[in-house]
Amino acid sequence: MTKFSVPEMSCGHCTSAIEKEIAGNDPAAKLSFDLENRTVEVTSTLDDNALLAAIKEAGYEATTA
């Protein structure tokens, strides 16, 4: 599991976009969102760089938290 900080993530639309992009690369990925702290925890077979790239592709900048 890796935790990412996504400062611009603020609503359900944001989480849906991120979830869709990551699921497109790893359908078995498990995501847990915390909108208050603007973080997402991801359990995936993808490495951190691939996950960061997927979040960026969804339209959001992220860093490991």
- pLDDT tens string 34-59: 999 999 999 999 999 999 999 999 99
40: domain CATH number is 3.30.70.100
**Residues whose CB falls within 8 Å of the CB of residue 38, separated by 6 or more in sequence, listed in order:** 5, 6, 7, 8, 9, 10
Sign (positive or negative) of CA dihedral 45, 50, 56, 57 = negative
Instruction: Print the domain residue range for 29.
Output: 2-64
Provide the 8-state DSSP code for 11: S
What share of the chain has pLDDT > 70, as a percent?
100
The contacts found for 46-50 with CB under 8 angstroms, 24 or more apart, are 46/22, 48/2, 50/25
Q: Computed from CA positions of residues 25, 47, 29, 2, in that sequence, does the dihedral angle turn out positive or negative?
A: negative
Q: What domain count does the chain have?
A: 1
Please state whether the predicted TM-score (pTM) of the whole model is above 0.85.
yes
